[in-house]
Structure 1
Amino acid sequence: MGHEILYRVGSWNGLRWTGTTQLKPNPVYTYEFVSNEKEVFYTFDIRNRSVPSRMVVSPSGDVQRFTWIDRIKSWSSFTAGQLDRCENYDLCGSYASCNISKYPDACKCLKGFTPKSPGEWEILNWTEGCVRRASLNCNHSDGFLKHEAVKLPDTSNSWVDNNISFAKCEKLCLNNCSCTAYANSDVREGGTRGCLLWFSDLLDIRELAANGQDLYVRVAASELEQLSEKKRVIIIVTCVVSAMGVLVLGWIIFICKRKLRIQGKMDNSRDINDNNEESKTDEMELLIYDLNTIANATDNFADKNKLGEGGFGPVYKGTLMEGQEIAIKRLSKCSGQGIDEFKNEVILIAKLQHRNLVRLLGCCTQRDERMLIYEYMPNKSLDYFIFDKTRRELLDWSKRVEIIGGIARGLLYLHQDSRLRIIHRDLKASNVLLDNEMNPKISDFGLAKTFRGDQTKGETKRVVGTYGYMSPEYAIDGVFSIKSDIFSFGVLVLEMVSGKRNRGFSHADHNHNLLGHAWKLWNEERAVELIDQQLDYSSSSSEILRCIHVGLLCVQQGPEDRPNMSTVVLMLGGEGSLPQPRQPGFFTERNLTEPEITINEITISLLEPR
């Protein structure tokens, strides 16, 4: 069956493994590394033998050390080998380093190198690594670029001599055409002795905040010349600035300060909020899952674990070895969506945190796979209940109004309270998932768009979304804004009240869709007839009619007439009077023998993801 390396602690440098910051004196155990002509081994000993301790390797390859806590009668994790995704072996490929603080763009090529497959790097698949910008000459014109504070590369194809002077290391590497890098093999006593040479591609490098080592990577002379030229430019600029004198420099500082003060007055409040939001998102963890782990969790994507399928591809339920249940959305080879939507969702939703947004746990980009891993929602999606005659009986009015309120708060966060203004563009019943307590969570951000600053709307020639939920201005002209999402929300509210789909709705007396039917009943003061007949609404009729009223305000033809989400939340929770709605979009009666609208490149979801 072969083997696969999952995790590497790094080479021994006389004091510690170069890839771990945890190996230091502690009250639980001692450790020792022995390397000589006869043997190489690592050993540890428990300081207090009355305290049981054990090391565990899980089936997925995770390494942890546990100690027994007698007070709570339980094993407690003391250390873990793999603390973050940069610990995954060779995550970034050859000649690249991993920096966990820069996630999702965790990987970058070493100086003098460029991505081998730029398109794959764009979708966060770094496995092919980097290649040299300029070929080596295999002579003394080559040189070395220093990379500070890193976990040294895999030493499977390396050579070490702890007895020679480190000063000779550079020359030894330069005299061998196959040598790609060198480093100090023993950092004790100032690192004056010991030489470590590499003779193959450099793999599994990561940047460390502490306890890293310096690595010297061989590059062509042209790369050294470029670096020298940059340094010369910096020196020249520094000298020019110095020669300008205190007066001129003071004038520059005055202008800069004045500009900053003006900008600060304009953006102070927004910057404070942005900084607070940024500090939260930087702390988030997004895991890179191994393909074998996902295959095992889903019984190799067995049909019995398939939850549904949408425009992106099939969705599976999975159970990890530790018992955690997950949902896996797998990009289909024939999907109308693709790598852009995949990247969009990974980058966007990883930075969002709200109780009414589904949580993205990680992704998998091994081989040709593109998969997104979410928290599992045991009650599937809203359409599973609301459009089923039997299951929607489980949603009484109090639960329905809670779900409507949760969706509204989630949208308010996207439109107003998140660091960026986010337009979902595909809000619908199947994209609202329900947790074990039936709390709603908005999902599927593959088609979402972000706005910055004062931007309020955008345009596209590629209209994507789902029939029945798209606003008129978006479906016909490709114009989208927060008011596009408001329209979709209004459709969802009317569907929740009636238990009927907007698209596909039929009535014996007319050919309107659900929106037209609701508008007709409203004008005839018969709105109560829209309410789901399976609801006991005798004590809640006024609240339900208010929801119908808000729904009609949200689906008005003109986007300028629709309320924003903060107003919607207030209207749903208030008791005051509301403005009269105007005619909804797509009110004209349909010719049921012809398509409702014709749109190029539209995404239509048939069997929806759960």
Structure 2
Amino acid sequence: MDLNECKRVCLRNCSCSAYSHFDIRDGGKGCILWFGDLIDIREYDENGQDLYVRLASSEIEKYNTNYVKGKLRMILIVVLSTTLFLICLCIGLIAFNMKKKKLATQETVQRDIDRASSRKQEEEDFELPFIDLDAIAEATDGFSDGNKLGQGGFGPVYKGTLAGGQEVAVKRLSRTSRQGIEEFKNEIKLIAKLQHRNLVKILGYCVEEDERMLIYEYQPNKSLDFFIFDKERRRELDWPKRVEIIKGIARGLMYLHQDSRLRIIHRDLKASNVLLDSDMNSKISDFGLARTLGGDEIEANTTKVVGTYGYMSPEYQIDGYFSLKSDVFSFGVLVLEIVSGRRNRGFCNEEHKLNLLGHAWKHYTEDKAYVLIDEAFKESCTDISEVLRVIHIGLLCVQQDPKDRPNMSLVVLMLSSEMLLLDPKQPGFFNERNLLFSDTLSINLEIPSNNLETMSVIEPR
């Protein structure tokens, strides 16, 4: 019999207590059965054969119950241990997050305290109030394009209305602007200490997150170049208004050079940096490139020439020397532009290849300075000798040698009196140039000007 047959035989006999293979080494089949006590199983067990013992069903049920209970106990232990571990882990994570949040709150509070302290120190240093970014954003309607007044090298300018109803102009330094934080702070420190009717007034500043902004009093008539270089709007500026604008600029420069607490060289005086209020009074703006001189200083030098090509004096543009007379040269250029309605930079004439300064000098020496007069205000000019006198003063300011140029206090006196004027000498940059290649002589410098014109320097190649 094989093992299955052996099992069936044992189960049919109630006296059978066990069964197993009969150990037939030669491969035969066989079956051995036990009846009663299992007293001789060792000799079969020694050969490693399986012995199948018959049990009562009650014993089998008891065995199965204990096995299930053991399994359940083991599962319960594992589940409870895992649950306990997860609870401890959650408690640890909650405690860690609470500690982290507490530290973050403490850091935030400390940062706010440090920022407030730094802001208070800045306000004391700048002598200006700090204006929150949220307040400026609300005033400009989120820096909307509809409130945008213009765009310059430093970034855009927006019109805004503060909570109290005051209209302001917000100069927002672009993130891509090359004007650095030092120039920005320099403008704040300088202009905050200046108080003159012909200088634009700064109301506050904002240095928050990545934003750097200056808040000025709003000038409804924009800048001077908006009028004098436009074919239609230039007619709004008759001669009386133009001469008052010139006198206002002269008074503002005299204050910077002589009467202010600091002796200041503007270094970027040009038509776009002269703003006009509601009554067309001129106000000098943009002090980002300005520099101060000591009480005994009259000049200085720099290795980085910044400014706007066409307004820079020869000694500054070529050698890096700047002085109060550098601003006088820029003022002279501006005077000739206001009288003629033409830009010095890019000026062209069919008769010659001179710039505006050369053009004015040429006609002055030929006693034809009246040729410079802008057609837009000829009808409002009742005394042409006054215009010719202003042209004469402009030529005195743009002379090649800075020692020959008058200081601004003398310029103010010449503009407001009938004093005798010296004959001017040849102006700076009096040479014919090839207009086709003139642009290749200029390169953009590190700090752009505040309008679309570049700041340039002549370099050999």
Q: Which moved more, 1:287-296 or 1:551-560?
A: 287-296
In the alignment, the residues of structure 1 paired with residue 179 and residue 116 of structure 2 have an alpha-carbon distance, to the nearest angstrom, of: 30
- The 8 Å contact of residues 249 and 283 in structure 2, kept in 1 or not, is answered as yes
Q: Which amino acid is 1:590 matched to?
A: R
Residue aligned with 1:345, SS:
helix
Aligned to 1:196: none
Provide closer, same or farther for how the CA distance between residues 433 and 547 of structure 1 changes in structure 2, counting only shifts above 3 A.
Answer: same
CA distance in 2, matches of 1:488, 1:499: 16
Residue-by-residue CA offset, 1:168-198 (whole Å, 9 max, x unaligned): xxxxxxxxxxxxxxxxxxxxxxxxxxxxxxx
1:376-525 residue pairs with structure 2 within 5 A? 376-525=218-367
Q: Which amino acid aligns with 2:113?
A: S
Q: CA offset at residue 304 of structure 1? A: 1.3
1:581 is the counterpart of 2:424:
yes
Q: How many Å separate the matches in 1 of 2:111 and 2:409?
A: 43
CA change 1:606–1:419 in 2 (3 A) is: closer
Residue in 2 aligned with 1:570?
413
Displacement of 1:309 after TM fit? 1.5
| 1:308 positional shift | 0.9
Instruction: For residue 320 of structure 1, report the CA deviation from its aligned partner.
Output: 1.6
- 1:101 to 1:370, Cα distance in 2 relative to 1, 3 A: closer
Give distance in 2, aligned partners of 1:523 and 1:334.
47
Change (3 A) 1:343 1:425: same
Q: How far apart in 1 are the matches of 2:109 and 2:233?
A: 48
Aligned residue in 1 for 2:43: none
Contact 2:239/2:381 (8 A) holds in 1? no
Equivalent of 1:360, from 191, 202, 208? 202
TM-score under structure 2 length normalisation: 0.71
Matched with 1:94 is 113
C-alpha deviation, 1:452, in angstroms: 1.0
Distance in 2 (CA, whole Å) between partners of 1:551 and 1:483 is 13
* CA drift at 1:104: 3.6
SS of the residue corresponding to residue 288 of structure 1 reads: coil
The structural deviation recorded for 1:600 is: 6.2
Report the alpha carbon displacement of residue 98 of structure 1 after superposing the two structures with TM: 4.4
**Alignment partners' CA distance in 2, 1:355 and 1:505:** 32
Deviation of 1:584 after TM superposition, in Å, equals: 0.6
**Partner secondary structure for residue 370 of structure 1:** strand
Cα deviation per residue 1:419-464 (whole Å; 9 max; x = unaligned)?
1110000000000001111111100000000011201111111111
Report the secondary structure of 1:543's partner residue. Answer: helix
SS of equivalent to 1:287? coil
> Is 1:607 paired with 2:441?
no
Q: Distance in 2 between matches of 1:504 and 1:370?
A: 33
Q: Work out which of the two has the higher radius of gyration on C-alpha atoms and give 1 or 2.
A: 2
Count of aligned residue pairs for this structure pair? 343
Structure with a larger share of its residues in helix: 2
Q: Tell me the SS of whatever aligns to 1:552.
A: helix
The match for 2:131 is 289
**Counterpart in the other structure of 1:266:** none
**Offset from partner CA, 1:388-440 (integer Å, 9 cap, x none):** 11111111111111110000000000000011110000000000001111111
Q: Distance in 1 between matches of 2:353 and 2:451?
A: 22
Deviation at 1:100, TM superposition (A): 9.6
Q: 1:600 to 1:91 in 2, by over 3 A?
A: farther
In the TM superposition, what is the alpha-carbon distance from 1:475 to its structure 2 partner?
Answer: 0.8
CA shift, 1:335, in A, is 1.1
Distance in 2, Cα, partners of 1:311 & 1:559: 29
Q: Give distance in 2, aligned partners of 1:490 and 1:561.
A: 13
Compute the displacement of 1:387 (Å). 0.7
Question: Alpha carbons of 1:292 and 1:406: their partners in 2 closer, same or farther (altered >3 Å)?
Answer: same
1:336 Cα deviation from its structure 2 partner: 2.0
Contact 2:314 2:428 in 1 (8 A): yes
Residues 600 and 386 (structure 1), Cα distance of their counterparts in 2 relative to 1, 3 Å cut: closer
Shift of 1:311: 2.1
On the 8 A contact 1:420/1:450 being kept in 2, the answer is yes
Within 1, Cα distance between the matches of 2:158 and 2:302?
32
Aligned partner of 2:457 in structure 1 is none
SS class of match (1:94): helix
Compared CA separation, residues 96 and 308, structure 1 to 2 (3 A): closer
Matched-pair contact (CA < 8 Å) for 1:467–1:604? no
Aligned residue in 1 for 2:212:
370
Tell me the CA shift for residue 306 of structure 1: 1.0
Structure 2 gaps, min length 5: 1-107, 454-461
Shift of 1:606: 4.4
Structure having the larger proportion of residues in strand: 1
Provide the residue aligned with 1:184 in structure 2.
none
CA contact (8 A) 2:272 2:451 kept: no
Runs of 4+ in structure 1 deviating by more than 6 angstroms, as ranges, are 89-92, 99-102
Alpha-carbon shift at residue 310 of structure 1 (Å): 1.6
Partner Cα separation in structure 1 for residue 393 and residue 354 of structure 2: 20
* Cα distance in structure 2, aligned partners of 1:323 and 1:91: 34
Greater length-normalized contact order (CA 8 Å, ≥ 6 residues apart): 2
Q: What are the residue-to-residue correspondences of 1:220-299 with 2, within 5 Å?
A: 286-299=128-141
Map residues 1-400 of structure 1 onto 2, 5 A cutoff: 93-94=112-113, 98=117, 104-105=123-124, 286-400=128-242
Following the alignment from structure 2 to structure 1, what is the Cα–Cα distance between the partners of residues 109 and 437?
55
> What are the superposed Cα offsets for residues 329-366 of structure 1, whole Å, 9 maximum, x if unpaired?
11111112121111001111101100000001011111
Find the aligned partners of 1:91 and 1:530 in 2 and give their Cα distance. 64
Aligned mates of 2:169, 2:155 — CA distance in 1 = 13
Q: State how far apart, in whole Å, the 2-side matches of 1:365 and 1:99 are.
A: 11
Task: Answer whether contact 2:183 2:288 (CA < 8 A) is retained.
Answer: yes
Residue type at the aligned position of 2:422:
P
Q: Is the 8 A contact 2:154 2:449 kept in 1?
A: no
Distance (whole Å) between structure 1 residues aligned to residue 181 and residue 119 of structure 2: 23
Cα deviation, residue 586, structure 1: 0.9
Residues in 2 aligned to 1:505 and 1:319: alpha-carbon distance in whole angstroms:
39
Q: Does the 8 A contact of 2:119 with 2:130 survive in 1? A: no
Q: Which range is displaced more, 297-306 or 416-425?
A: 297-306
Q: Distance between the aligned counterparts of 1:92 and 1:363, measured in 2?
A: 20
Q: Choose 491-500 or 300-309, whichever is displaced more.
A: 300-309
Q: Deviations over 1:280-330 (max 9, x none)?
A: xxxxx6221111111111111111111111221111111122221110011
2:392 equivalent to 1:549: yes
Q: Distance in 2 between matches of 1:468 and 1:589?
A: 14
Q: Percent identity?
A: 65
CA distance in 2, matches of 1:90, 1:543: 65
CA distance in 1, matches of 2:449, 2:251: 26
Q: Deviations over 1:90-146 (max 9, x none)?
A: 89843587499966446xxxxxxxxxxxxxxxxx8xxxxxxxxxxxxxxxxxxxxxx
CA distance in 2, matches of 1:90, 1:445: 36
Matched residue of 2:141: which SS?
A: coil
Matched with 2:68 is none
Q: Secondary structure at the match of 2:113?
A: coil
Stretches of structure 1 lacking an aligned partner (at least 5 in a row) = 1-88, 107-123, 125-284
CA displacement at 1:599 relative to structure 2: 5.2
- CA deviation after TM superposition for structure 1 residue 576, in Å: 2.4
Cα distance change, pair 521–335 in 1 and its aligned pair in 2 (3 A): same
